[in-house]
Amino acid sequence: MTAQPPSLALRLFRRFPTTTLVMAPYVLLYLPLAIWNDNPGTDFIIYTGGLAVGAAFVVEFSFALVVLSERRSRRAPGAPATTSTTSIWHGDRVGVVARAVSVVSIVTNLAFVTLGGTTLTSQVAGVVPSGVLTLLSPFVSWGWVALALLFSAHALGGIDRWTLVRWLVALVATQAAVAYVTNITARTLVFLVTLAAVALLTRLLPRSWILGGVAAVAVVWPTVYQIRNTLRQANGIAVAEDVSATDRLRFDEQIVKAEQYGPGHDLGQPDLFSALRYGLVPRFLDPGRPAVSSGNLVNEFLGGASFSSWTFMSVATSWFFWGTIVVVLIYAVHAVVILGLRPWNDIARRPAALIILTLIIGGPLSWVATPPDVFIMFLQTTVSAIPVFLVLRLWARSSREPRTARVGKLLRDAPRPVPQGSA
């Protein structure tokens, strides 16, 4: 199938990825609903969102200027020509790793919820994972790792398109099953958004498929919301009868609530040391530590129960905890890290880079994230995926050298001609 030429929107997405990912929920969801419903806090939504979008844009625009300058230099007369390199990854082996990680993710998620982990009832009861759940919990987020590996395996020729689609359907179905058991839909929404973003960046699925999937999610959301409420009521969880499926998407109302309290609140949320402890040390090695939920702390601050959670959405929650300067720094750093994973044209052929990108999109840059918890989750998933990185490094690399390395070696080893007339 002939590759589709990138549209203007896709070219802008690839040029300004962090800016686009941060801005997307504001353009698609927050601001339209705020304007439609005449939300009096719309200026605050624009202000806090503008901090994050502006920080990311400044970094990415500066980088774009540097890239443009380098391209002009390469086009100058006498500039050395660039050469392409062959992949250093063995496609079939990456495909094996992708399948294995997908199976581990599916089995772990189903086993975790079957044993009572992360259900809404357990959250209400304040239950901390223990026993075998502590051994399973590091692998619960491997669905994002599997997602990246499947796209990478397809790009490298390890699996064909329909095999990729079948495995993606299996991962999405697992997330849907987990949502059905836990009565929590946010995680599935984040997974679908991450899948769409990775598919757009890698251009490995037709745009029509992605847009069709987005439209399908929008159509089925009211039904899904009704099913969720019915299941919650069956489990003894109170549900607000006057909140419709559309009302549940009024995230703009959640954002503006932060404006009432101003920036800079220390509620006991994890500091940098605690975030590193929770992120880098698995619970089975540190079983005595309490559960961490910044959303619960915010809910208590607002006068709610300690077992329920509240978020002002990612940017406004960061502003509520740490203020303007930290918000700017956070999203500038995100932009720098994501730019470090470029170039986008071959990121799908670099499994490790695509894994990191996918974890960032599904974690710190997710639409419904609650910092600093999402940073902890990103670290936890990265640490748990170390065996995957090692297998990729030691087994899934191709024995072939890059073409430029082979050519360079041949040129260095070739005998040099002796000039005529020399002694």
**Whole-angstrom Cα distance, residue 67 to residue 407?**
27
Residue bearing tokens 């990612």: 314
Q: Is the peptide bond before 351 cis (omega within 30 degrees of 0)?
A: no
Using alpha carbons only, what angle is made at residue 99 by residues 98 and 101, rounded to the nearest 5 degrees? 65
pTM of the entire predicted model: 0.85
Q: Each residue of 291-341: pLDDT tens digit? A: 778 888 898 899 887 767 788 999 999 999 999 999 999 999 999 999 999
What pLDDT shows up at residue 410? 45
Low-confidence ranges of the chain (pLDDT < 50): 1-2, 79, 81-85, 121-122, 124-126, 401-411, 418-419, 421-423
Backbone angles phi, psi at 397, to 5 degrees: -80, 145
Using alpha carbons only, what angle is made at residue 35 by residues 212 and 244, rounded to the nearest 5 degrees? 65
Residue bearing tokens 């039904």: 223
Q: Each residue of 87-105: pLDDT tens digit? A: 688 889 999 999 999 999 9
33, 258, 265, 327 from 41: Cα distances, Å: 12, 10, 20, 19
What pLDDT shows up at residue 42? 96
Residues contacting 344, CB < 8 A, separation 6+: 14, 17, 201, 202
What pLDDT shows up at residue 169? 95
* Tokens of residue 81, six digits: 């020509």
What pLDDT shows up at residue 33? 93
**Whole-angstrom Cα distance, residue 396 to residue 391?**
7
Beta bridge partners of 89: 397
Burial (CB count within 10 angstroms: exposed 0-12, middle 13-18, buried 19+), residue 307: middle
**Whole-angstrom Cα distance, residue 117 to residue 235?**
15
Counting Cα atoms < 13 Å in the Cβ hemisphere of 216 gives 9
User: What one-character DSSP code corresponds to residue 293?
Assistant: -
Q: Cα 205 to chain center, whole Å?
A: 18
* Tokens of residue 218, six digits: 């929008």
What pLDDT shows up at residue 408? 46
* Tokens of residue 183, six digits: 């009565």
Question: Is the four-CA dihedral 120, 122, 128, 131 of positive or negative sign?
Answer: negative
What pLDDT shows up at residue 369? 79
